[in-house]
Amino acid sequence: MTWISPLLFLIALGTGVFLFARRIQSILKMIRVGRPDLPSDQPIKRWAQMMRLALGQQKMFRNIPVALLHLIIYVGFIIINIEVLEIVLDGLTGAHRLFLNPLGTIYPLLINSFEWLALGVWVACVFFLVRRNILYIKRLRSNDLNGWPRTDANLILAIEIVLMSLFLLMNASDTLLQTRGIEPYATAYTGNFLISQYLHPLLSGWGDASLIFLERGCWWLHILGILAFLNYLPYSKHLHILFAFPNAYYAPLEPKGKMVNMPSIQQEVELAMNPAAVTTPSTEPPGRFGAKDVQDLGQKNLLDAFSCTECGRCSAACPAQHTGKLLSPRRIMMQTRDRMEDLNKLPPDQRTNDGKSLLHDYITVEELRACTTCQACVEECPVSINPLDIILQLRRYLVMEESNAPGEWTGMFGNVENNFAPWKFSPEDRDAWMRVDS
Amino acid sequence: MSLPPIKTMAEWLAEGKEPEVLFWIGCSGSFDQRAQRITRAFARILQKLEIPFGILGKEEMCTGDSVRRAGNEFLFQMMAYQNIQILNGYNIKKIVTACPHCFNTLKNEYPELGGNYEVIHHSVFLQQLIDSGQIRLQEGGIFKGKRITYHDSCYLGRANQIYDAPRKVLEALDVELVEMKRCRSKGSCCGAGGAQMFKEEETGKIRINIDRTQEALETQASIIAAACPFCNTMMSDGVKLAERESVVQVLDIAEIVESSLNFSE
């Protein structure tokens, strides 16, 4: 009968990992719908950028107290995974605390540090729940988050609190069973741990059988919880813990002020201005000018959308949002992701013709018109997302494919084209500033 | 005070000479009455320091910054093509401009279209001249001890990481430099970028320039320093709307430096 538990564990682990891998595959497929634009140049600079922004969380430290709490959760998450490795191996082999013998005296040190981190994660998550729901932080109360996104955020924090509680409760019952000489706990003797020992008074009245049941229950719920969370991850905003890395790697290395060039238009204009200069005119059929839907966006834009954790630092810094305009850079990212998910739910043959598009049906013209291209959203994003790039591509479509511009802009285009200045002044007066007295 | 004559690149070429630097004026600096004063102030600095410079004069055209950000890539490419033809035709190597939008486009967007120049914003140019001792400022000049707040231009700051140069220029004047709540990389936009300068703002609770000017006025500064003609327009409008124009001035750093130049030595 000893094989039943490892078999059940193997099935749970296999299912969890399989479903996670399948979902990631599906997300990568959604991203590949975009124009291939992921850069492969300057790998050393890109690795350094990834280490600095994703691993080092440089942007988070613009707000130090929050950054430290976030760091505890992040480090806790990574380090406690060493413990998860033991749990997985225990589960597969039917052993109990497999790492105790090989590690000897280091083992209690290790578990003690995990317990400290678990407590830290627990406290940080409780604080973040309070901050999100009771304290008033504008970006966390914004209408952007109405409905599922708000629940999603609270659910993630709640799950982490539950997982950490299970871990501590499991250790508490284990060490209590050790002192009672119950096997296999007594053989794998570790002594009390720094944090979970304080839970002993809660459990001391419990009988041996109930304690064993509690310990096993916590063990199973902890690992099943982790597998479930792993699968929740790619359906939630929490995916940023993985995607922050490729997203920082692929983020532009150039100054933020540089707009992405459109070589097709460059060539067309060169050909029009000087037909002799272009020796090899492009044979490619001209694509769409700008972006109307997610297929027209770059793969980096779509990776951005899946990396967004909806923290709203972009929108808090956005001058348009700050002064009550409709534009919210966070919403641009959320709508882009929603559009991809909505398309993905359709049968493949309907995905190009569902009568909707990102522009107009998900993101309105008024939002796009409010942007001052100030790059505050790009500057603030801790995971290297660029909402501005999407806004500008949609603007290009509006102007070049729909001729949809406010009257003042149409006038400005005319002035620039005819008078070489955005105002209606004669080019003859361009040097008049020299002659006017100040 | 009228300016001594300034040579165009065509005139330099006719003399068979090349100036040290091209002063790119930009559309604001050419046509906007307020920005023309900034242009003249910077030109006067160059003249007084006897730095050989040229302008394109009537040959200069809009860089295309605003039309590109509005979405009109065709028109941007047309402007870029024509400007690059002219700049390359005169064999231009170094450009200085007082407009961060022109600066950003010339520096970051023209190279891949065939226009490669060393492009310097006037704030950096002025800082270099102060550091090298070429610009000497009056001790106890008219700005000494004055409370000044510097408003970061998006296209200098976030776009190109130029935060210190304009501040160092002001500090050289022995002023009391005070920062707004949102400054440097967190600095708020004046509301003019992305072609907003040329259209009505979208509906909201408050105009961006009024919001930003409020923040500047809260510092109790008597001068709001800017380094961008668009920012200057937006902040000046904000000060006027707040009816504070009698006590608070909006000045470009070139104007501030020009009126503090010391020629006694």
* ipTM given for this complex: 0.96
Q: Which residue has the higher pLDDT, B144 or A281?
A: B144
Total of domains in chain A: 2
Comparing CB atoms, the residue among B39, B73, B192 nearest residue A262 is B73
- Which of A410, A414, A257, A416 lies closest to B31, judged by CA? A416
Are A163 and A74 found together in one domain?
yes
From CA A414, how far away is CA A404, in angstroms rounded? 14
The answer to whether residues A244 and A308 belong to one domain is no
Q: Does A19 share its domain with A78?
A: yes
Pairing outcome for strands B21-24 and B53-54: parallel
Q: A209-239, pLDDT tens digit by residue?
A: 999 999 999 989 988 998 999 999 999 999 9
How close, in Å, is residue A80 to chain B by CA atoms? Answer: 35
Query: Do the Cβ atoms of A373 and B194 come within 8 Å?
Result: yes
- Say if the Cβ atoms of B64 and A416 lie within 8 Å: yes
Confirm whether A26 is domain-assigned. Answer: yes
Chain A residues closer than 8 Å to B199 by CB: 369, 406, 408-409, 412
Is A42 a domain residue?
A: no
- My answer on whether A107 and A239 are in the same domain is yes
What angle is formed at CA B62 by the lines to CA B59 and CA B64, rounded to 5 degrees?
Answer: 140
Does the beta-carbon distance from A421 to B200 stay under 8 Å? no
Q: What is the percent of chain A where pLDDT is above 70?
A: 97
State the CB neighbour count (10 A cutoff) for residue B232: 28
Same domain, A178 and A291: no
Reference A231, options A19, A32, A402, A65; nearest CA is A19
CA distance A38 to chain B (A): 19
The set of residues, in sequence order, having a beta carbon less than 8 Å from that of B206 and lying 6+ positions away, is A323, A324
For residue B255, what pLDDT is reported? 96
Query: Is there a contact between B36 and A436 if contact means CB atoms under 8 Å apart?
Result: yes
**Contact flag B71-A399 (C-beta cutoff 8 Å):** yes
Give pLDDT, residue A280: 65
Same-domain check for residues A13 and A147: yes
- Domain shared by A19 and A140, yes or no: yes
Q: Which of B28, B42, B198, B228 to mutate to test the interface with A (most CBs of A within 10 A)?
A: B198
Please check whether residue A168 lies inside any domain of the structure: yes
Quick check: A399 and B195 CB within 8 A?
Answer: no
pLDDT, averaged per 10 consecutive residues of chain B (265 residues), comes to 85 96 97 96 95 97 98 98 97 98 98 97 97 86 90 98 97 93 96 96 97 97 98 98 96 95 61
Which residues in chain B touch residue A370, judged by CB atoms under 8 angstroms apart? 201-202, 204
Contacts of A373 in chain B (CB under 8 A): 69, 154, 193-194
Residue B243, min C-alpha distance to chain A (Å): 21
Q: Return the ∠ at Cα B244 (arms to B238 and B246), rounded to 5°.
A: 125
Residue A225 lies in a domain: yes
Phi, psi of B246 (to 5 degrees): -80, -20
Looking up residue A339, the CATH number of its domain turns out to be: 1.10.1060
Q: Say what the pTM is.
A: 0.95
Please state whether beta strands B249-252 and B94-97 pair in parallel, antiparallel, or not at all (unpaired). unpaired
Q: Structural domain of residue A367, as residue ranges?
A: 287-405
Chain B's closest residue to A263, CA to CA, is B113
Candidates A372, A412, A425; nearest CB to B193: A372
Nearest CA in chain B to A374: B154
Q: What's the confidence (pLDDT) of residue A98?
A: 87
From CA A113, how far away is CA A107, in angstroms rounded? 10
What CA–CA distances, in Å, run from B100 to B29, B106, B157, B167, B259? 12, 10, 9, 15, 22
Name every chain B residue with its beta carbon within 8 A of the beta carbon of A252: none
List, as one string, the DSSP characters of B136-171.
-BPTT-TTTT-EEEEPPPTTTHHHH---HHHHHHHH
**A223 and A311 fall within a common domain:** no
Q: Among all residues of chain B, which has the CA nearest to that of A291?
A: B71
In a domain, A45, yes or no: no
Is the domain of A244 the same as that of A292?
no
The size of the A-B interface in CB pairs under 8 A is 222
Domains by residue range for chain B, with CATH: 9-127 (3.40.50.1860), 137-258 (3.40.50.2300)
Residue B22 CA to residue B26 CA, distance in Å, equals 12
What is the pLDDT, as a whole number, of residue A279? 63
Q: Is residue A238 part of a domain?
A: yes
- The pLDDT tens digits of the residues spanning A167-203 come to 999 999 999 998 888 888 888 888 899 999 999 999 9
A304 and A209, same domain (yes or no): no
* A370–B204 CB contact, under 8 Å: yes
Report the distance separating Cα A128 and Cα A126, nearest Å.
5
Q: Is the model's pLDDT at A59 over the cut of 80?
A: yes
Same domain, residue pair A27 and A125? yes
Q: Is residue A375 part of a domain?
A: yes
pLDDT score recorded for residue A78: 81
- Residues of A whose CB is below 8 A from B202: 320, 325-327, 366, 369-370
CB-based contact A428 B62, cutoff 8 Å: no
Q: Which strands form B21-24's sheet, in the order they lie side by side?
A: B53-54, B21-24, B94-97, B118-121
Residue of A58 and A81 predicted with greater confidence: A58
**Test mutation, B47, B72, B107, B210, chain A, max A CBs within 10 A:** B72
Task: Look at B1 and A437 and tell me if their CB atoms are within 8 Å.
Answer: yes
Return the structure tokens found at B118. Answer: 């060393």
CB-based contacts of A399, cutoff 8 Å, min separation 6: A290, A405, A409, B70, B71, B72
B135's tokens = 């610009």
Tens of pLDDT, residue by residue over A66-83, are 999 999 999 888 887 778
> A367 to chain B: nearest residue by CA?
B202
Q: Please answer yes or no on whether B158 and A416 come within 8 Å at the CB atom.
A: no
Q: Is the Cβ pair B27, A423 closer than 8 Å?
A: yes
Contact B72 A270 (CB under 8 A): no
Computed on alpha carbons and rounded to an integer, the radius of gyration of chain B in Å comes to: 18
Is residue A256 a part of any domain in this protein? Answer: no
**What confidence score (pLDDT) does residue B264 get?**
46
Chain B residues whose CB is inside 8 A of the A323 CB are 204-208, 211
My answer on whether A352 and A224 are in the same domain is no
Give start and end residues of each alpha helix (H) in B23-121: 26-31, 33-48, 65-70, 73-89, 100-104
As a whole number of angstroms, the distance between CA A343 and CA A27 comes to: 12
User: What pLDDT score does B1 carry?
Assistant: 55
**Distance between CA A430 and CA A335 in Å, rounded?**
44
Cis bond leading into A184, ω under 30°? Answer: yes
Say if residues B216 and B224 touch (Cβ distance below 8 Å): yes
Pick from A254, A269, A376: which is nearest to B108 by CB? A254
